[in-house]
Structure 1
Amino acid sequence: MLEARLSEAAILKRLIDAIKELVTDANFECNEEGLNLQAMDNSHVALVTVNMQASGFKKYRCDRPMPLGVNMNSLTKVLKCAKDDDVCILKAADDADVLSLTYEARNTDRIAEYEMKLMDIDSDTLGIPDTEYDARVTMPSGEFARIVRDLSQLGESVRIEVSKEGVRFISDGEAANGNILLKQTDAPQRSGSSSKKKAKAESDDEEEAQATDEEEQEEEEDEDGEKKVKVKKEKAKKEKVKKEDGDVEMNGDEDEEDADYQQKEDEDEGEEEQDEEEESSSKKRKKPAKNGKPAKKAKKVKEENEDDDGPVGVSIEMNQHVTLTFSLKYLLNFSKSTTLSKKVVLMMSNDVPLLVSYDFGNGFIRYYLAPKIGDD
């Protein structure tokens, strides 16, 4: 019995979308280690292998090795019924002719169950020999997809050259030619990013120091203001005492004395209100400074995440100069795996099939493409 539980259906949907136009029918070989698929296209020019390790599933159980023969178009239709974030459960009994797919929604109690008929497919598993390639190119998968898409507008084939200068993609069409060169940028990007991080850290430290200085100045100003207010209050009290002593000897009106007292009390109350307003305004000024510090930390976190999840640089490892020509039609199909990984690895040797590899989570998808020979 097979029971495999994927945390997100999007992984399986992207895998099938990437190979459905290259392969029509194929066997998923299930065993204790996971799911494996190997199939060739109808013209026997390209080979695709898919590996999904058991550790990549939320729950995985396979009692004995068993093949699951599926039609890619039918499986694509069933997978379209699932949302990307749905939990996908694959079930198949021993010697069963039906594959059960269950989709569990995360935010609701919705559970959808589908059954797809399995096929008996006679396919021989090819032994892929371990090959030591003369050139290895690691580059952003989006850049590879763009190059292949652009050059396919000009011609039917592309010549890939790996040299000390970099990796060059050349397409010669009837009406126009294209030539794209990518130089190695992996090492400089890392050093540049580290220096940028240092500079950003220093600037952040300076801004924090300025903020603390401004807070200290505001506190000093507040203390000076409180001292001035105290002095004013003491002067006002002394003036009250003097006037009261003078009023005993003078026979003035009591109404004038009451008016003087009210004016002084109003002034004292006004000064106290001003003091309260100054204190509240100083607190308001301090709040943005305090709230500003976490904002700076958030910026740092975002920048670090952007560096980690940012575009992959071009890395080239070469033992000797390699030049091979391939069909752009197949490379276009390979580039559909861009949704699975941000980087792609091209492995090349003269007179040896090209290896295009995408790694995703606990699995990979690899394509092998035979080179064109002569004018073919």
Structure 2
Amino acid sequence: MFSAKTSGSDEWKAILSAISTLVEEATFEATAEGISFRGMDPSHVALIDISWPNSAFEKYECDGDIKFGVRIDEFSKLIKRSDKTEAIEISLSDNMLLISIGKNKQYKMRLIESSATDTPLPKIPYDTRISLATGLFDKILGDVQVVSDYLTIKTNATKSEFSGKGDSGEVLISLQKQQDEPV
């Protein structure tokens, strides 16, 4: 049994947008603790590691460790059919992903056999941790993507800077540290 329900679509849209920049197919892992995804781009330069705890969902049920693979562009097309305030519920049934949007839309999407292997986290020491709402992070990625295919993140004790440079120009987005939050 697996079912996860969000009160709106923003989280799904942000997560799928971030994943789609690296891979075309994704294997999510659902456990009693929540949903996670870890993947690397084909050139093994960029890594995305998402952990979505069960407490972030309006309703969450998972009675075992379940892996399910999807084509990100197909999943994203369905999620984009939702309004910002429509609840989204996903569940699994007979090798299909069931997606309920609001009170009257239901989609069934075929799952894929994943060829992805477990992606270990690299052992790189970091001295900074940045916590952002998914909507804000998605907006930053979109703002940088207008001029660049690459994102550079710099931090210090008071702020975090997100920048990109491309043929058409440059962008710099600065966020000040909020009181009692990591930068």
Q: Find the counterpart in structure 1 of residue 95 from structure 2.
A: 97
Partners of 2:168 and 2:120 in 1: CA distance: 42
* Aligned 8 A contact 1:137 1:314 in 2: no
**1:116-147 Cα shifts (integer Å, max 9, x gaps):** 0000102222232564325x385986896598
**1:295-327 Cα shifts (integer Å, max 9, x gaps):** xxxxxxxxxxxxxxxxx5158xxxxxxxxxxxx
1:85, CA displacement in angstroms?
1.0
State the structure with bigger RCO (CA 8 A, min sep 6), 1 or 2.
1
Partners of 2:106 and 2:171 in 1: CA distance: 50
Letter in 2 for 1:115: K
| Residue 73, structure 1, aligned to residue 73, structure 2 | yes
Partners of 2:74 and 2:41 in 1: CA distance: 18
Q: Find the counterpart in structure 2 of residue 339 from structure 1.
A: none
The structure with the larger Rg is 1
Structure 1 gaps of 5+ residues are 105-109, 183-311, 316-342, 346-376
Which has the larger helix fraction?
1
Q: Find the counterpart in structure 1 of residue 176 from structure 2.
A: 313
Q: Find the counterpart in structure 2 of residue 50 from structure 1.
A: 50
Q: Find the counterpart in structure 2 of residue 124 from structure 1.
A: 117
3-state SS of the aligned residue for 2:106? Answer: strand
Letter in 2 for 1:118: L
Structure 2 gaps of 5+ residues are none
| Residue 113, structure 1, aligned to residue 106, structure 2 | yes
TM-score, normalized by length of structure 2? 0.73
* Aligned 8 A contact 1:13 1:79 in 2: yes
TM-score, normalized by length of structure 1? 0.39
1:163, CA displacement in angstroms?
7.7
Could you say if the C-alpha distance between residues 17 and 64 of structure 1 is closer, same or farther in structure 2, counting changes exceeding 3 Å?
same
**1:214-241 Cα shifts (integer Å, max 9, x gaps):** xxxxxxxxxxxxxxxxxxxxxxxxxxxx
Partners of 1:151 and 1:87 in 2: CA distance: 33
Aligned length: 176
1:90, CA displacement in angstroms?
1.0
Which has the larger strand fraction?
2
**1:23-74 Cα shifts (integer Å, max 9, x gaps):** 1001010111111111111222111111111111122111211111000011
Letter in 2 for 1:25: E
**1:154-207 Cα shifts (integer Å, max 9, x gaps):** xx778777789x88889888899x79696xxxxxxxxxxxxxxxxxxxxxxxxx
Query: What does 1:1-376 align with in structure 2 at a 5 Å threshold?
Result: 1-93=1-93, 96-104=94-102, 110-129=103-122, 131-134=124-127, 136=128, 148=144, 152=148, 312-314=175-177
Letter in 2 for 1:70: V
Partners of 1:149 and 1:168 in 2: CA distance: 15
**1:269-316 Cα shifts (integer Å, max 9, x gaps):** xxxxxxxxxxxxxxxxxxxxxxxxxxxxxxxxxxxxxxxxxxx5158x
* Aligned 8 A contact 1:92 1:98 in 2: yes
* Aligned 8 A contact 2:147 2:167 in 1: no
* Alpha-carbon RMSD: 4.0
Identity %: 24
* Aligned 8 A contact 1:171 1:179 in 2: yes
